[in-house]
A and B are shown apart, each in its own frame.
Chain A
């Protein structure tokens, strides 16, 4: 087990290094941030000064060497935009995204499992058809459109929830609901397919021959066997959300990591972009590890 985690960490570490190199140089290709931060009429001297302070005059390779040396001391550099350590800025935004993802996925998982299982239990029945239609619509709905429609309907017209920002529980309702829709459609379909498979298996036949109640056949015998592919898809969706639900965070002015990254990229705030990528990469690595461990918990035949 520990050797598995070790091997996994090593290979993830190598990918992370590759990612840092790639992002560092790619982001530099977007140009010099000086013009974005100084007033249009700033003197050449002031511009030069800005470049020196932020080390933008040095050759790229030297900038990179300095960056790597700093990272090794856990110093991710200063945000140009906020004039604060980049890591601090990122760690401020990250919990918002983490919570948004956690709350959304929790709701998605519960709803998808219950509805998907019940649909699988009576394939072709009215419930299966209705939920199938809804999930297909959900999986194909564009979230920016749903988000704007949601604001228009529930905030502007009905005034039930605030349009954007944070502060109360009500501020969470719209972002979570919008983020919920697509993964729900997808995961419900996976649960349904996987459950149909499990319910037609031989061990379910045995359970019926034993006189086990249908409820425990679905939720005890079939569900645990059906969970493996579901866990994979949930992990995949979670990775997407941890990267920041860019569209939803931007529309709802939600101060998460997606919004932070977009802002930083537009402002060429390179240090923040890199720090944000590293933090999310670490989070995704941990989550994938968690999923692998979850496999072993769900299925005793899987051992690392």
Chain B
């Protein structure tokens, strides 16, 4: 149907291999896709799917060694990129095809002013210095950075996360490229900021007519802005088509699984009758935490019933993690009380606190960091029994470890392995097993599924839910996005700037939010459904048009 040379960018039968100690690993096989001006193609995949490697191949960013392109072609306007010299590729990079990345703080050079860095792209392609600087300033204004002129000479660390991504975008747009490759451009950002960045990308695309190649793991982002989507799994393309086609009628089993796993689609939790008459497990009263002059937590109060799951949702800086850490006494509160079974956690003596720690456990965001890499799984799980000696006689440790591993969906023989031998999802299961080792009544999960792939996320949440029913556990579940919480929590607390903005049952929060901020959060969250997203977009546009009048 399409003629060979019609596409601006065309990748054909691409294969990339990495030479590792274990031998050759095929990171990408038989990958073909194309992109034209004005359209948005998403490459959707989970970690290890090869989506980033494919994008890096286009930009000549694969480190070689160890990576080698073993097969295929990449053409830009009919010119074969892979046959070019380094200098020729350099003339295309940044000028014709530009790229932005996931973590803008790491991807901006920390020791040079941002204006200089934006102008550098143009200087590298022969634009004269003064012109480049003037244009860099224009670009900073164009991507919506307030006070661009004054901040031209500021350094990357002096900007917020969203602003840094705007700077990256400004930099990429310097020479009006035909194609912009965006590698997980909003993954590190808060939902409301993510919505703004996606909005900006779409606006700039409409203005410049560039083609957008979006690399992402996020179904919501794809549903929101992609025209077409290519789904990758284990280095191969499993499905390709228009976004609506793929989302509504996924043909490949993997795509079906992925779309089914997207959070926020299940029936809302019916509010379980809060066992009337039973005393609350935890009563938090006006907890305040200041770090010097910084008011991280300005007074939070809520109660948690036995067997209940409360989700605390908020963007970065909302105080949600501070609240969790304070409840665990990992931070000392400035003010307030937290009654756990009637006893104030903040007034416990060191000995009492030691005993109390058994009953409240924590699961952290990144299991790679929260599990000591030099300890075997058995040691990791049984460490608590070595500290709390009366809990379990040593002879029973290995049996109990095996039992716990089975409970979290691992195998007893995994006990002798080290954390690096597991995948991210399995590691989080180990962290959960470790928390369960103390037979706690309350587990605080701090972003416990945020670092996991969507399909793994769904599995871990299902596991937590099952454990709750088995052991009558209570959870405080801290998250930055609402959809995850929707399927799992009984009640939701929305926090902003150190304060509780709104509190209610899932049903209340999702169907009848009272506060503007909650509504903003809900609106900014992306549904894995192109129809819903385009409807929302139209609504927003109408709203904007209305307020413009």
Chain A residues engaging chain B, CB cutoff 8 angstroms: 200-203, 205-214, 216, 221, 224-225, 298-301
Contacts and interface: CB of A to CB of B under 8 A. Distances in A.
B108 interface: yes
A300 B110 contact: yes
B111 interface: yes
Given A208-B93, A225-B111, 20 more contacts: A202-B107, A203-B107, A203-B109, A205-B61, A206-B171, A208-B59, A209-B61, A209-B98, A210-B94, A210-B120, A210-B124, A211-B92, A211-B95, A211-B125, A212-B94, A212-B124, A213-B90, A224-B111, A298-B111, A300-B110
B141 interface: no
Nearest to B96: A211
B153 to A, nearest CB: 10
Contacts of B86: 214
Interface of B: 59-61, 63, 86, 90-95, 98-99, 101, 103, 106-112, 120-121, 124-125, 155, 157, 168, 171
Nearest to A222: B109
A126 to B, nearest CB: 15
Nearest to B175: A211
A205 B61 CA distance: 7
B130 to A, nearest CB: 19
A203 B108 contact: yes
Contacts of B91: 211
A210 B171 CA distance: 8
A212 B120 contact: yes
Given A202-B103, A205-B101, A209-B94, A301 B110 contact: yes
Cβ-closest 10 pairs across A and B:
A211-B94, A202-B106, A211-B93, A210-B94, A203-B109, A209-B99, A210-B121, A202-B107, A300-B155, A206-B107
Q: Select the residue from B106, B109, B168 with max chain A CB neighbours within 10 A.
A: B109
A212 B93 CA distance: 9
Nearest to B97: A209
A276 B63 CA distance: 54
B157 A301 contact: yes
A209 B124 CA distance: 11
A209 B59 contact: yes
Nearest to A298: B111
Contacts of B108: 203, 206
Contacts of A201: 106
A207 B63 CA distance: 14
A216 B124 CA distance: 10
25 contacts: A202-B107, A203-B106, A203-B108, A205-B101, A206-B99, A206-B108, A206-B168, A206-B171, A208-B60, A208-B61, A209-B93, A210-B93, A210-B120, A210-B121, A210-B124, A211-B93, A212-B90, A212-B120, A216-B124, A224-B112, A225-B111, A300-B110, A300-B111, A300-B155, A301-B155
